[in-house]
C-alpha cells in the first residue's frame, strides 16, 4: 500500500473504518496507454485486530470487494446476475 494523503505514518493496525462503498481501482494498460480502471466496490476493509473476538492476522491487510460486473449503473448490486454466477 502507498499512502497518498496525510502526513502521518500508516501503521499496521490502522483503522480503515468507513471505507465500505469506496471504489476499488486497478492500474490497467489498454492500447498502449496506462490508466486506472474500476474493478469493484469495497465492502469491508481490514480488521486492525483491536477486538480479540474478530479474526485478524497481524501485517495482513485484506479488503473485500464486489466485482464491478455485479454493480449496476445506479450503484446497486445486480442480485439476479450475482445469484446466477454463484449458485
pLDDT score recorded for residue 51: 60
Percent of all residues in the chain with a pLDDT value above 70, rounded to a whole number: 76
The total number of residues shown for the chain amounts to 87
In the chain, domain spans: 23-85
Residue 35 has pLDDT above 90, yes or no: yes
Pairing label, strands 23-30, 33-44 = antiparallel
**Beta carbons of 39 and 70 less than 8 angstroms apart:** no
Would the pTM count as exceeding 0.75?
no
DSSP 85: H
Amino acid at each position: 500500500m502507498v499512502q497518498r494523503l496525510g502526513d502521518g505514518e500508516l501503521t499496521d493496525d490502522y483503522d480503515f473504518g468507513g471505507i465500505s462503498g469506496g471504489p476499488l481501482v486497478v492500474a490497467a494498460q489498454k492500447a498502449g496507454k496506462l490508466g486506472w480502471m474500476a474493478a469493484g466496490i469495497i465492502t469491508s476493509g481490514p480488521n486492525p485486530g483491536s477486538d480479540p473476538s474478530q479474526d485478524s492476522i497481524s501485517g495482513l491487510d485484506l479488503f473485500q470487494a464486489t466485482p464491478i460486473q455485479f454493480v449496476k449503473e445506479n450503484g446497486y448490486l445486480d442480485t439476479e446476475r450475482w445469484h446466477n454466477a454463484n449458485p
